[in-house]
Structure 1
Amino acid sequence: MRSMTLPRLLASFLLVPAALTTAAEQPARDARKIYAEFCASCHGANMEGGSAPSLVSGQWRYGGDDAALSTSIRNGRPQNGMPGFGATVSEKEIRGLVVFINEQAGQASSRRTPAPSPSADTVATGKLHSFRVETVVSGLREPYAIAFQPDGLVLITEKRGTLRVVEKGVLRPEPVSGLPAVDSGGQGGLFDVVLHPDFARNGWIYLAFSDQLKTEPNRGAVMTTLIRGRLKGNTWTDQQIIFRAPEETFRHGGNHFGGRLAFDKNNFLFFSIGERGNQVDAQNLTLPNGKIHRLHDDGRVPVDNPFLKTPGAIPSIWSYGHRNPQGLRFHPVTGELWEHEHGPRGGDELNIIQRGLNYGWPLATFGMNYNGTPITDVTARPDIQPPITYWLPSIAPCGLAIYTGDRFPKWKNQLFVSSLAAQELRRLEVKDGKVIDQEIIFKGLGRLRDVANGPDGLLYVLLQDRVARLAPAAE
């Protein structure tokens, strides 16, 4: 939005008096419609330029970051014939326009630089390593998470509520029996599977799933529940409930369950619960949803949890203000707890989780509503922990690994993020708490729900109907 023809310029100023009396009273408008009304005549219907420059070329005269774009929209660039729209468009709507422009620019950039989409018999070349994608397990239905036992068995959860076992490279024909009922409607299902750090001695396996109340005639309220048990043959046994929220806090609807688990070096168990589609719940410490939680391995509440003495607070809460966290891993070197979560339309976040902090949802966000209307014009506040980075357009991150193997030495200790909507596996290089490089390792092979380190030093990814691994091209 950097220049404007004279007729459009005059028309925009004629609109200002009416807008001054009504903009604050009217509900926020769809960013796409605002763009079409005020911007498209100069910058083009697809933002590819016209009488004013392209907004999706990646080239900016006055800067393309959020602050510069907001300033251009609000105050204009009079020296280039562009008026300011601060009196016509509210601050929330300006934020929506910035999200919309960034979204379209990101999609255009993705089209200009396609990522590898390797088939089984081809080699893909990345920035640091070349690799092949090998299928290791097929015949699955929406695999969600994977865990490798020290005895060679591999456990795989499926969203539909089944736990599968791979033995000597072969998928057992029948799912594990004896699991509790799982509500797999919407985004619900059987989520993460994690072994106890001392699994070789105690045999404990931890699962997260969407747990539905059976007290209502139709579909009951649902919340994420954690259990542990042992595998004997192909049967789930010795089950114990590790966390089950008070039933009055269960929520209807099929969105935003979180469901990721991670143990730290002291055997504390951290887990995520999404805000279940109820935005304001993420800020309410008396509710479990929209939070990262911390417990002992047997479900006891640690005495040093941050809100243990807060009246009415759920005592397991470790951090809050989360939307839908579906990536949770401890860094093997720094010990930091890394997390990623789905934003709304734009604004997926990567965070380092710290004790007692507020991560902002929905008070601050880099995204907007799915219908194109803004949520808020706030992206930062002094009392809110900002993300390490965010993605716009959304990639829908689901699954996080920090590579610990030796087969790809230049990837050591770097972050890998799998995604649903973008169908990408991304590599993130972090230095001093900042992402200094991102690479799309591959895309276009389908939705990816998880990425994990294997005992063979390779990276494993969970696709729609199979498990594959990345192997060095030279092998």
Structure 2
Amino acid sequence: MNVFRHGLLLALTSTLLAPAAFAQKREASGLYAQFCASCHGAKLQGGTSPSMLDDVWRYGGDDATLTRIIREGTAEAGMPAFGGAFSDAEIRALVVFIREQRIDYQRSRTSVAQPSSDAVIKSEQHTFTLETVADGLREPWSLAWLPDGRMLITEKPGTLRIVENGKLLSAPVAGTPEVNSGGQGGLLEVATHPDYAKNGWIYLAFSHPAKNAQGENVSMTKLVRGKIRDGAWTDEEAIWTAPLETYRRAGGVHYGCRIAFDGKGYLYFSHGERGTQEHAQDIKRPNGKIHRIHDDGRIPADNPFVNEPGAIGSIWTFGNRNPQGLDFDPRTGVLWETEHGPRGGDELNIVSKGLNYGWPVITYGMNYNGTPITGETARAGMEQPVIHWTPSIAVCGIDFYEGGAFPKWTGNLFVTALAQQELRRVVIENNQVTHQEVMLKDIARLRDVASGPDGLLYVVMNGPDRIVRLVPVK
């Protein structure tokens, strides 16, 4: 490494490019190209300094060590300290950038199952094939089952479809709610009441279009329940609606929404922060939260902020960015959640009453354009994820497998990913992740996963738009 050159750069950046002047403005790949590539290579492949693409680390390759070395340098290796040139947030963005480049390199050298519908796939514990259940769909988002075996599928543009006797009915359910399908909005989650056989309730979550007091078009996530009779949506009841003054106009992003029942009469649902990140920390606003209500929409008296003046009484947790996975571990009763980070920092969390999950004060990610958000990944009073995926996999729907067709998977958490087009099997013991396996890769954007009443595992795919199931091969 050319220590003299780096010393000059350090002196220049300390005086001319002080962190205070450039904090949260400089993009990570540009910083790397300007200050790091001459020694470590334009693609991290190494030069006068070793490669950062392999797993050989002289001082350790964890995030904390990388952060310390960038900030403080290592005199014996000729690496200068950049703490005077880079802000803490910029250093964090550089760490995310290094992680991204390493993962991209590793993925280019790894073969993962990219099966056709008739391929036999051998995973670590079971062998299976993929079987198409329904195609010809338009951006399917979630699925649920009725006791008679019919499958319900939401399509993002606003339709509810039924698969009956193995065939997708040509006509959607009539009379479902109007939705705002722009951006990430649309008809999102469908869920059936745990006692559906007795009460017939079906729950829908969607982006609700409205007009605010100024006459502007606004929208927010809304929950309703209703019934299906003769192919039509009937008996609709509003279960949860945000106060109109909290509806958002800017950006059709981050609506959430997943639903989970605890079997005790409570319904939990997730709500994204709608692209206004600071709202996630404000308990007077509903976005960026996990909510808890009675299954008929009443607010439980023991919710954590129900007696706080001005607070949204349904809030169960806050500081959540865009949670799109929510499920109870049937073995323990613990509620788990996945949420999209920005560029990096996708999270797997345990959801617990009244806790703050940190967004946007702490995050393991950076902005999509490569500029930093914050240098903080931890702060007192804010929860750490059980794990985070950095780089992002665009984590989405989740489900604990409860079927009998794949006995070695029982109790494992299955996780879908959009950007990385993955289905992951996550092994959890004592509320800690002990193992992950990538089951499928690069066959579609995977939106949701669910255990079916037949004991098989079903996956919702976008691009191509279809529902498939994993069928065991003996």
Q: Does 1:462 align with 2:460?
A: yes
Give the deviation of 1:418 after TM superposition.
Answer: 0.7
TM-score calculated relative to the size of structure 1? 0.97
TM-superposed deviation, 1:378:
0.6
Residue in 2 that maps onto 1:400:
398
Match of 1:95 in 2: 92
1:13-412, aligned counterparts within 5 Å? 13-19=10-16, 22-28=18-24, 29-214=26-211, 220-252=217-249, 253-412=251-410
Letter in 2 for 1:262: A
Residue 164 of structure 1 contacts residue 175 of structure 1 at CA under 8 Å; is this kept in 2? yes
> 1:116 deviation in Å?
0.5
**Kept after mapping to 2: 8 A contact 1:274/1:290:** yes
Amino acid at match of 2:184: Q
SS of the residue 2:446 aligns to:
coil
Are 1:188 and 1:255, in contact at CA under 8 Å, matched by a contact in 2? yes
Indicate conservation of the 8 Å contact 2:10/2:85, yes or no. Answer: no
- How many angstroms apart in 1 are the aligned matches of 2:211 and 2:4? 64
Opposite residue 138 of structure 2, the aligned amino acid is R
Partner Cα separation in structure 2 for residue 16 and residue 216 of structure 1: 50
Contact kept? 2:212, 2:245, Cα under 8 Å: no
Q: Which amino acid aligns with 1:339?
A: E
**Corresponding position of 1:448:** 446
Matched position secondary structure for 1:221: strand
Give the CA deviation at 1:267. Answer: 2.1
The alpha carbon displacement at 1:58 in A equals: 2.3
- Measured after TM superposition, the shift of residue 17 of structure 1 is 4.5
- Structure 1 unmatched ranges of 5 or more: none
Asked whether the 8 Å contact 1:107–1:393 carries over to 2, the reply is no
Contact 1:58–1:105 under 8 Å retained in 2: no
Question: Which amino acid is the alignment partner of residue 93 of structure 2?
Answer: G
Aligned counterparts of 2:4 and 2:273: Cα–Cα separation in 1: 48
Contiguous gaps of at least 5 residues in structure 2: none
What is the Cα deviation at residue 27 of structure 1?
Answer: 3.2
Deviates more, 1:35-44 or 1:50-59: 50-59
Q: Stretches of 4+ moved more than 6 A in 1?
A: 216-219
Whether the 8 Å contact between 2:174 and 2:231 is mirrored in structure 1 is yes
Residue deviations 1:236-273 (CA, integer Å, cap 9, x gap):
00000000011000001200000110000202000011
> Helix, strand or coil: the match of 2:220?
strand
Instruction: Give the AA of the match of 1:181.
Output: E
Structure 1, 118-127 or 160-169: larger mean CA deviation = 118-127
- Per the alignment, residue 11 of structure 1 pairs with 8
Greater mean alpha carbon deviation, residues 222-231 or residues 42-51: 42-51
Q: Hey, what's the Cα distance between the residues in 2 that align with 1:386 and 1:277? A: 21
Secondary structure of residue in 2 paired with 1:265: coil
Asked if 1 retains the 8 angstrom alpha-carbon contact of 2:3 and 2:79, the reply is no
Determine the C-alpha separation between the residues in 2 that align with 1:57 and 1:346.
20
- 8 A contact 1:288–1:317 mirrored in 2: yes
SS at match of 2:398: strand
Deviation at 1:117, TM superposition (A): 0.7
2:21 maps to a residue whose letter is E
Q: Count residues with an aligned counterpart.
A: 470
Name the SS of the counterpart of 1:326 in structure 2. Answer: strand
Q: Following the alignment from structure 2 to structure 1, what is the Cα–Cα distance between the partners of residues 101 and 346?
A: 16
CA displacement, residues 95-125 of structure 1 (integer Å, 9 cap, x when unaligned): 1111111121122222222311111121111
- Please tell me whether the aligned partners of residues 188 and 257 of structure 1 are also in contact (alpha carbons under 8 angstroms): yes
- Match of 2:437? 439
Q: Distance in 1 between matches of 2:334 and 2:303?
A: 17
**Do residues 428 (structure 1) and 426 (structure 2) align?**
yes
1:209, distance to aligned residue in structure 2 (A): 0.1
CA distance in 2, matches of 1:294, 1:403: 23
Task: Encode CA deviations 1:377-415: one digit per residue, 9 max, x unaligned.
Answer: 111112001100001111111110000111111111010
Q: Which amino acid aligns with 1:222?
A: S
Greater displacement, 317-326 / 131-140: 131-140
**Counterpart-to-counterpart distance in 2, 1:48 and 1:109:** 12
Structure 2 contact 157–186 (Cα < 8 Å) conserved: yes
Show CA shifts across 1:54-75 (max 9, x none): 1121221111111000011011
Task: Give the whole-Å Cα distance in 2 for the aligned partners of 1:403 and 1:219.
Answer: 44
For residues 58 and 218 of structure 1, what CA distance do their matches in structure 2 show? 57
Q: Is the 8 A contact 2:401 2:451 kept in 1?
A: yes
Aligned partner of residue 294 in structure 1, secondary structure? strand
TM-score, scaled to structure 2 = 0.97
Q: Give me the whole-angstrom Cα distance separating, in 2, the residues matched to 1:426 and 1:341.
A: 15
- CA-to-aligned-CA distance 1:414-461 (integer Å, 9 cap, x gap): 100111111110111112221111111011111111100001111000
Which residue identity is paired with 1:289? Answer: N
Q: Distance in 1 between matches of 2:394 and 2:7?
A: 42
Instruction: Tell me the percent identity.
Output: 55
Distance of 2:336 and 2:152 partners within structure 1: 23
Aligned-partner Cα distance in 2 for 1:108–1:334 = 38
